[in-house]
Amino acid sequence: MALDHNVQRSLFAADALLPTGWARNVLVQWDGAGRIFAVTADATAPQGTPVAPGPLLPGMPNLHSHAFQRAFAGLTEYRAESEDSFWSWRNLMYRFAARITPESLEAIATWLYVEMLEAGYTSVCEFHYVHHDQDGTPYADDATLSQALLRAAQSAGIGITLLPVLYQTSGFGARPPRADQARFIRSTDNMLSLLERLAPVTQAQGAVLGLAPHSLRAVPPDSLTAAVQGLTALNPQAPIHIHIAEQTQEVDDCIAWSGQRPVQWLLDHAPVDKRWCLVHATHMTPDEYAAGARTGAVAGICPTTEANLGDGIFDMPLWLQHGGRWGVGSDSHACVNAAEELLMLEYTQRLSLRQRNVLATATQPDVATAMTLQAVAGGAQAAGRAVGGIAVGQLADMVALNAQHVALRDLPAHSMLSSHVFGSHRTSAIDSLWVAGVRRVSGGRHALHESAAQAFVAARSATIAPN
Ligand code: NGQ
Ligand code: ZN
């Protein structure tokens, strides 16, 4: 245990992005649990206060991650079928999932979380569905793979919301699971036992435990109802995440099964509210945009993965018009970089609307600033953790850019952020990052960078299937 006087409890920044916008000469102070108790603008730094090397930003929550998928990022970019699609990618992805072990998952996730921290994410929502041993039998300790992820988050020092995934069927109408989905399958009762088992473990490390019904394809209506009720009995505030309406095939199948589109069906049959994160929600009608936004649920947009998988484009202006909340996730981890997700999101809107600066707002004309504040607020809501920005009561999850980086030097603070997000630089402008007040990245590097990278490479080699 470090002695109290060695523990950092404050930081001064010449410029800081607060939930209300940019402020000058900001002193941030937090307690021993990493919770901010004072944010003072126009302050003078008390002697000895550490000073941020550039503009201070709120840490970005990553609201959607399948950690194991980092091991094959960039390795499915070849033609596997005459017309490759999301579904042919999924077949390849299942081959990697089949080979994951507790050891390889921990190594892959540890490195992934180190990368996330170096890239501006301070917390992660882990949508975790590979539960069982390779032949589909539960591990002797049924929480083995969940524990591997929790350990990885703890070693890297990233905040985590663990979302064990309920997965039961291969398609609408209770189609039996495929053989290559055997590692994912749990009964609803079994899932609720897992949650009970994990509740004290997650709490002990400051993690939040939620639930992820994988999708309407994978969870029949009765199970969805029972699981949400069971979770709510455990913790009425626990987050609930679901993949929804990502692919048009899924929409067509849902209509054939129920006469309704996925989002419409979900809103009619589940108590969707601000606890929920609707991951992707790509294919909605204008009525679904309006009704979905009104629930207060967060749209979990995963811009680079959605581009990588050919999902389609979420209509941000329509969602925002109805007061919709949103955040970003790196999902399959084809890209692990908070700024690049914002860039990709704004660019897809520009390409589809043939406009510029689509996500600027009346009060926040600077796109990178507007997007950062919205994505942090939405991401925090989806995480169910107090990670909603640099404000009293929130955890001190913060990122400092390097004002001496050539891309930033001598610019005003909002332009530094804009240059960081939209300037596409060969090297990162992130200097430091704090999670709950603990500095995890300095000089752009995490302390575990080398060792975690080595373990990752070994785990990846073991995971890549020999043709
Ligand atoms: C997943 N990923 O669970 O990893 C999914 C693919 C599915 C994304 N949707 C599998 N991006 O949806 O069936
Ligand atoms: Zn996903």
CATH of domain 5-58+390-450: 2.30.40.10
Q: Is 331 in the pocket of ligand 1 (CB under 6 A)?
A: yes
User: Atom 7 (ligand 1): residue with closest C-alpha?
Assistant: 90
Q: Is 65 in the pocket of ligand 1 (CB under 6 A)?
A: no
- Decide if 27 contacts 39 (C-beta within 8 A): yes
Q: How far is CA 181 from CA 104, 195, 226, in A?
A: 19, 21, 22
| Whole-number pLDDT of residue 7 | 87
Segment holding 203, helix H or strand E = helix 188-204
CA of 60 to the centre of ligand 1 (A): 22
CA of 86 to the centre of ligand 1 (A): 9
| Whole-number pLDDT of residue 6 | 61
Determine the 3-state secondary structure of 138 from DSSP.
coil
- Decide if 334 contacts 308 (C-beta within 8 A): yes
Residues sharing a CB contact under 8 Å with residue 160, sequence separation 6 or more, in sequence order: 123, 124, 125, 126, 149, 150, 153, 202, 205, 207, 208
Active site residue 280: yes
Instruction: Quote the radius of gyration of the chain (alpha carbons, Å).
Output: 21
Using most ligand atoms within 8 A of CB, pick from 70, 85, 89, 90 the residue to mutate for ligand 1.
90
Q: Is 306 in the pocket of ligand 1 (CB under 6 A)?
A: no
Q: What is the DSSP letter of 35?
A: B
Tally of CB atoms within 10 A around 214: 20
Dihedral class, residue 66 (left if φ above 0, else alpha if ψ from -120 to 50, else beta): beta
Amino acid at 77: E
Q: Is 332 in the pocket of ligand 1 (CB under 6 A)?
A: yes
Q: What is the DSSP letter of 45?
A: P
CA of 305 to the centre of ligand 2 (A): 9
Domain boundaries, the chain: 5-58+390-450
β-bridge mates for residue 213, sequence order: 166
Determine the 3-state secondary structure of 81 from DSSP.
coil
| Whole-number pLDDT of residue 465 | 63
- Decide if 172 contacts 253 (C-beta within 8 A): yes
CA of 67 to the centre of ligand 1 (A): 12
CA of 402 to the centre of ligand 1 (A): 36
Active site residue 273: no
Single out the catalytic residue among 331, 366, 397, 431: 331
Q: Is 243 in the pocket of ligand 1 (CB under 6 A)?
A: yes
Interatomic CA distance for residues 401 and 466, integer angstroms: 42
Q: Is 90 in the pocket of ligand 1 (CB under 6 A)?
A: yes
| Whole-number pLDDT of residue 81 | 87
Which residues of the chain have a pLDDT value below 70?
A: 1-6, 465-467
- Decide if 350 contacts 356 (C-beta within 8 A): yes
Q: Tens digits of per-residue pLDDT, 333-375? A: 999 999 999 999 999 999 999 999 999 999 999 999 999 999 9
User: Atom 3 (ligand 1): residue with closest C-alpha?
Assistant: 214
User: Atom 6 (ligand 1): residue with closest C-alpha?
Assistant: 90
β-bridge mates for residue 36, sequence order: 30
Interatomic CA distance for residues 144 and 141, integer angstroms: 6
Q: Is 282 in the pocket of ligand 1 (CB under 6 A)?
A: no
Is the Cα torsion angle 217, 219, 225, 230 positive or negative in sign? negative
pTM assigned to the model:
0.98
Contacts 24+ apart (CB under 8 A), 25-29: 26/56, 26/390, 28/56, 28/390, 28/396, 28/398
Q: Tens digits of per-residue pLDDT, 143-188? A: 999 999 999 999 999 999 999 999 999 999 999 999 999 999 999 9
Interatomic CA distance for residues 240 and 233, integer angstroms: 13
